Each structure stands twice: as structure tokens, then as C-alpha cells.
Amino acid sequence: MNSHEQTASAKNSSAAPQLDVEREVRFAVVMYGGVSLAIYINGVTQELLTMVRATAPSKVGGEEALLAEDASELSGTASVYRKLGQYLDRHHDKLAKAATPGPDGKRPRPNKDKIRTRFIVDVISGTSAGGINGVFLGKALARNQKMDGLKKLWLTEGDLGKLLNDAQSVKDLSAYGFSVQEPQASLLNSQRMYRKLLEALEQMAEGKPDNPEPSPLVSELDLFITTTDIEGIPLPIDLEDDVVYERRYRNVFHFRYAPLPKLNKPITPDPFAHLEAKDRDDFTRSDDPFLAFAARCTSSFPFAFDAMCLNDIESVKDRYPRYAEYSTKNNNWERFYSEYTQLALYDIDKQARGEPATGLSITQDEAKKKLRDAFASRAFGDGGYLDNKPFSYATSMLMRRPAASVVDRKLLYIEPTPEHPEFVPPQLHRPRPDFAENVRAAVLELPRQETIRED
């Protein structure tokens, strides 16, 4: 065999298998919040990303797999997902053979058989610890990146010794102008947490260009991150004979990735049209500061981190050359909080802040700027206060996707502490709770015990 034939043979031996997709298994993922769950849920999101990458094409519309059969990444559970993609619902005998260990006790590596089933994550809804990991999973899917930066963050920053709000927490950041805030507003250093979230997002890029090719991992993605508006936004309710107002405290930041043309257009007006805007990409470098802001807000667990305002990011971002050019002073991120900048809220917002309502006596641009400034000073807390199990956002999107092949839709929710109330023996003479037990249930225990059957 001459050198040319050897080169061709080597090239063919390392070629990735072909895709001939007959079926897609699409996952809408809901991730709960809870204390000390960030590292645990990160392991789950890393596994979801591994599953998606194992059956993804190398490029949008490509016929070759992203991972070649001899790729180092195609090991462990990735090889299992690859084999499922090749043989699921078609070749049960081959699937059984691929799962059977050989004489050496090892299972065979995936081969070049065609991938006929793709695994896709296209809806993510998260709160608190689930919200942080949801942000990074969404970024990885939209940018075709890995989440090693987040893994490193939890391994290095999960130490309370580094996060405690004292001089030690800013020791390695003093060169960037960080210092301990006085008076201290929280047990842990909130500025450090935001800075490290930004660093983890930057590390995901790994030198890739800011305007990459469309992601082969997902064609359309919706990410919902819940937070709590501590002040609450006054919203009108139109009654038959009057208009009354109430404050809404639940808030959600919606990020969307949809760069491709829509395959079918609704004939009738669609009330969800604003959720399906095409040519939208909320996962670019310019959006990283707001993604990190949403992650910090949703995880502002009481006592641990203080509630966060958008203005708070300026002092951190300005010391970070990669992101210094992006400012809250312009309208780059208004699409994430457009409900707060409706002109109809101008007087309502002023009244809520104890100022006289004078009507729109200034230009619309000036009014918009004032509303943006008002939002930037609005504090947001942990999403788990009022919405710790954010199912409704995910379920609302389940049927809102075009499909070019057979689709199996799965709703996957990550329950960090599964309970089995059916196994608890009934108490015939349950004692009535005393004063302290009643207060504890009302303030601490029951608010996070949301049921999901309504969703």
C-alpha cells in the first residue's frame, strides 16, 4: 500500500458516521431550585449536553456526526447515547450486542452505523440552582460549546472559604479593584459570584469567533429563568366599570435562540408570536453580562446573596475588559425586560415610587430612557420565592416547534429530593401544630412545596 492509499485509508477509518435521521427525541427540561444543589444539577446538565452532542451533526444540515467514532469525547455515557441513536427502535439485536461486554470486560466502542435517532434539548426552564445551570446549558447548546468553565467554577468556587463576604473573598480580585463592601449586605460575596459567572461564560468561548456558524446542536431554543421582583411591578386589571392595579412579583427572563427561517406560518394571529421571533440570538458575547445577571438574580438565596439590580453589574463589568463596552445605559438588553418599559407604565411607575403622575409630557424616547433607568435600579431576588418549579413556561412551548421527522416529545424535570408521600403511614390522631410549628410551615416550609399537577 503506497502512502496515498495509507492516508486515504486512515482518513476513512476515522470518518464520522452518517446521519439519516428518522426520529427526534426532544426534551423540555425543568430544573428546580434548592440549597446546595448547584453542583448536583451541574452534573445532570453536563450529561444532557453529552447526550445531545453524541447524536448531533457536525454542522447544520450536515450528514456527518459531530463526533467521529474514535473521538476521545465519545466515551463513557456518550458512547451509550451514540449506540441508542444508531439502533433505538430499529435494531434491538445490535443494541443488545453493543451493550454486551467482551471477553476483556469492556463494551465495544460505537461504530460507523448510521445515526437514525437524534436527542435534542430545545426548552429549558430553571430556578435558583437550576436557573444557573440552565443559563450555561442554553449557552452551550446555542454556541456549540462545552460547559467546562461552569464545572471549574463549581469545583473551585464551591468552597465557602472563597465565597464568604470577607477579605479572603476578594484577595485574588484586588488587582481588579474589588474590596469588601461595607456594610456587608449578605453572608456571601455577591460581586465575586457575578464576576465568576462572567468568567465561566467567557471560558466557554475558547477563542471562538463572536459570530459563529449556526449551532448544529439545536435549531430553536427557549430558556426561561425565574426571578422575584422584590418591589413588584404595578399592572392594571381592566374591570367592567373600573381599572384596578395589583403588583406582580413573579418575573421570568426569556432568552431565545432561533436563527433559521420558520418552516410554517400561522394563518390566524398568534398570541405567542412574540415568543417565536426568528433571527433572534440571545446567547452572543454581548448578552453574557445579562445572562450572568439572570443567573445571579435567580440564585439570590436569602442570607447567602443579596438581591441584585442591573446597575450592580457596572462596577464588575467595567473591570472586565472583555465586557466593558456593554452598558446598561443603552437599550441593548431591553428585549429581556420589555414589560417594564411600556409607555403605559410611565405614570404607574412614578406613582409607585411616590412621585406625582404628570402624564407623558416628555418625548417617548425620554420616557423609555427613564423606564430603563427605573428597571436598572429594581431589585430581583431568588426565583424560588414564588416559582420554584417553573413548569408552565416549559409546557407552553411543547407544541410550538416545526418538525421534519417523527418527534417524540419528553418533559424532563429534575427533582433533587424526591419524596414518596404514598409510603408515609397515615396518622389517625395527628396532633395539631403549635404556634411555632404553624409559623415555620407558613414562612419556611410550605412556600416551596409547590404542586406540579396543575401544570
Q: What is the DSSP letter of 442?
A: I
Amino acid at 286: S
pLDDT in tens, 157-178: 666 666 666 666 666 666 566 6
How many CB atoms neighbour CB 269 within 10 A? 6
pLDDT in tens, 233-267: 888 888 888 888 888 999 999 999 998 654 444 44
pLDDT above 50 (res 209)? yes
Most confident of the following: 121-130, 351-360, 416-425: 121-130
Torsion of CA 275, 278, 283, 284, to 10 degrees: -140
Q: Report whether 139 contacts 145 (CB < 8 A).
A: yes
**Residue 228, domain member (yes or no):** yes
**Residue 425, domain member (yes or no):** no
What pTM was estimated for this model as a whole?
Answer: 0.85
**Residue 13, domain member (yes or no):** no
**Residue 354, domain member (yes or no):** yes
**Residue 428, domain member (yes or no):** no
**Residue 133, domain member (yes or no):** yes
Mean pLDDT computed over every residue of the chain: 81
Radius of gyration of the chain (CA): 25
How many CB atoms neighbour CB 31 within 10 A? 30
DSSP E strand stretches across 7-134: 19-31, 115-126
How many CB atoms neighbour CB 99 within 10 A? 13
Domain range for 181 is: 18-99+106-262+277-418
Distance, CA of 52 to CA of 120 (rounded, Å): 6
Three-state DSSP class for residue 430: coil
Distance, CA of 298 to CA of 227 (rounded, Å): 5
pLDDT above 70 (res 384)? yes
Spatial neighbors of 148 by CB under 8 A, at least 6 apart, are: 203, 204
**Residue 197, domain member (yes or no):** yes
**Paired residues of 235 in beta bridges:** 246
pLDDT in tens, 389-411: 899 999 999 878 877 789 999 99
Angle, helices 148-157 vs 190-205, to 10°: value is 150
CA distances from 122 to 17, 37, 108, 142, 323 (A): 24, 23, 30, 10, 27
Q: How many domains does one find in the chain?
A: 1
